Amino acid sequence: MEKSLQTVFQEIASVSNEQELRLALIDTVAEYFGVQHWGIHLLDEPFLTDVDVQDVPGVCMESNPVGRYVVERHAPAHEQLVLPTGDWKHFCSRHDHEHVMSGPIVCDGRLVGTLNLARASGTPAFNVNDLADMSALCLHVSAKLATLRAKPKTSVSPLVSRLTPRELEIAELVARGLTNGEIGEKLWITQNSVKQALKRMFRKLEVSARAEMVAKLQDMVSVIS
């Protein structure tokens, strides 16, 4: 059954940390908006320096009109809102980013991230209703993020603290049994980026296989099992 926007809001409200927030959005956002790719990018996260530049969607940067609109106005936008029809392809040639929409995540009066959606070629463009829903969704995500960041920091195990937020996210998806390709699709990164991240994670945790990594992080992944 298709999720309602209220259901998405409730799932956001129920999370207890930023990692759970990402995981709650992974399935709900794609299903609700009917998108093939999506990404949530927090600008102060260390993982952004750990991936290839081309893996970070251009829509979350200031290098194109959609991203610039979001950065300047702290308001959501899609390509047809800020560009004449067809002009988006001058900025992005990817067939799986035929239509894009980006929205702001704000905290303490500043932009701390973006939520980015993309539909592939042959799918309908985002419309005014999608834009209104994105605005509401970003409001809930921003409010929840502010609440989570206001909470006192709890101690984490030495094993967990060795990994970046993105690596923890990958570990949780590995524990769910997803392949590198499936993880890449979920997180909007390339399969090679997942492979390289796993190599770094293996070194940090001193393991040599996926199953061994999952077993070593069992206390963490049991929360989402």
Q: Quick one: 34 and 75 in the same domain?
A: yes
Co-location of 75 and 143 in the same domain: yes
| CATH number of the CATH domain containing 72 | 3.30.450.40
Packing angle between helix 191-205 and helix 165-175, nearest 10 degrees? 100
Q: Which residues pair with 77 in a beta bridge?
A: 102
User: Does 35 lie in the same domain as 132?
Assistant: yes
pLDDT tens column, 174-203: 888 889 988 887 777 888 889 999 999 999
Please tell me the distance from the alpha carbon of residue 30 to that of residue 34, in angstroms, as a whole number. Answer: 6
Q: Are residues 100 and 31 in the same domain?
A: yes
Residue 163 is part of a domain; what is its CATH number?
1.10.10.10
Do 181 and 121 fall into the same domain?
no
Domain boundary, last residue among 97, 115, 150: 150
- The mean pLDDT of 112-132, rounded to a whole number, is 91
Per-residue pLDDT tens for 16-33? 888 788 878 877 888 889
* Amino acid 193: pLDDT: 87
Confidence (pTM): 0.67
Q: How many structural domains does the chain have?
A: 2
For residue 173, what pLDDT is reported?
86
Domain match, 14 and 90 both: yes
The string of pLDDT tens digits covering residues 197-218 is: 999 999 988 889 988 888 887 6
Asked whether residue 142 falls in the same domain as residue 192, the answer is no
Higher pLDDT, 124 or 56: 124
Residue-number span of the structural domain to which 108 is assigned: 5-150
**Domain closes at, from 122, 150, 178:** 150
Secondary structure letter of residue 106 according to DSSP? E
Domain shared by 140 and 162, yes or no: no
Is the pLDDT confidence value at 106 over 80?
Answer: yes
CA distance 38 to 10: 20
Q: In three state form, how does the secondary structure of 87-143 look?
A: HHHHCCCCHHHCEEEEEEEEECCEEEEEEEEEECCCCCCCCHHHHHHHHHHHHHHHH
Are residues 97 and 118 located together in one domain of the fold? yes
Q: Are residues 104 and 35 in the same domain?
A: yes
User: Are residues 171 and 142 part of one domain?
Assistant: no
Q: Are residues 31 and 119 in the same domain?
A: yes
Domain boundary (134, 150, 166) is at 150
Does residue 124 surpass a pLDDT of 80? yes
